[in-house]
Amino acid sequence: MKKFLFLFILSAGLLFTSCGSDDKKDPPVNTTQGKWEPTTIQLVKVVPLYTLDYPHTQSCPKDYLEFKANNNAVFFRHETANCTITEYENAFQQNGNKVSLNVLGYQINGTITAQTDTAMEIQSDISAYIPLIKAQFPEYEQYLSVLEGGTVKLSFIKK
């Protein structure tokens, strides 16, 4: 049951990203147009606690985030045994290295902490997931205090 909670929290990191304040001045990140595939999700609380492969639906094409010319993006999620595609329009907007997501009515902010031409990492504060977990999975509310102060690092590769 705990593994399912962590899997949900970490996979939700793609859609629900936030971050704490950061005093260093990062150069603006220019996310180029194209498709970015999520690869790993890492839960960190002082030190990395858990890293797992992004949970793509088995036997389906891999999920991906497609960046558009206007710094917006659409997330394509393959679900169910039929590989049904759910598109999340305006799921990701970028301003420099800051990102803003609005998915399922939750507005969450995050930071791109690393990026090359072929790889990207987005860091978020785990606290942004609390309202989502309480609404979607109230049975896991008792485990949320363990996650306080943690962050999620979501890694992507460019397809």
Q: Give 83-114 pLDDT, tens digit per residue.
A: 999 888 887 888 888 987 765 567 778 899 99
**58: Cβ contacts below 8 Å, ≥ 6 apart:** none
- CA dist 108 → 48, 123, 129 (Å): 22, 12, 9
Name the residue type at position 151: T
Tokens read off for 21: 């304040």
Please report which confidence band the pLDDT of residue 26 belongs to, taking 50, 70 and 90 as the band edges.
very low
Q: How far apart are CA 32 and CA 119, in angstroms?
A: 11
Please report which confidence band the pLDDT of residue 157 belongs to, taking 50, 70 and 90 as the band edges.
very high
Domain span at 124: 2-158
pLDDT of residue 85: 94
Whether the pLDDT of residue 15 is over 80: the answer is no
How many domains does the chain fold into? 1
Which alpha helices (H) appear in 13-159, and where do they start and end?
A: 130-136, 144-147
pLDDT of residue 155: 92
Please report which confidence band the pLDDT of residue 140 belongs to, taking 50, 70 and 90 as the band edges.
confident
Please report which confidence band the pLDDT of residue 116 belongs to, taking 50, 70 and 90 as the band edges.
very high
**95: Cβ contacts below 8 Å, ≥ 6 apart:** 71
Helix (H, G, I), strand (E, B), or coil: what is residue 154? strand
Tokens read off for 143: 């485990």
Whether the pLDDT of residue 18 is over 70: the answer is no
Tokens read off for 59: 């036997």
Question: Longest Cα pair distance anywhere in the chain, in angstroms?
Answer: 46
Helix (H, G, I), strand (E, B), or coil: what is residue 134? helix
Please report which confidence band the pLDDT of residue 144 belongs to, taking 50, 70 and 90 as the band edges.
confident
Tokens read off for 2: 């705990």
pLDDT of residue 139: 84
Q: How far apart are CA 65 and CA 71, in angstroms?
A: 12
Whether the pLDDT of residue 82 is over 90: the answer is yes
In 3D, which of 133, 138, 129, 90 has the Cα closest to residue 108? 129
Tell me, what CATH number does 8's domain have? 2.40.128.280
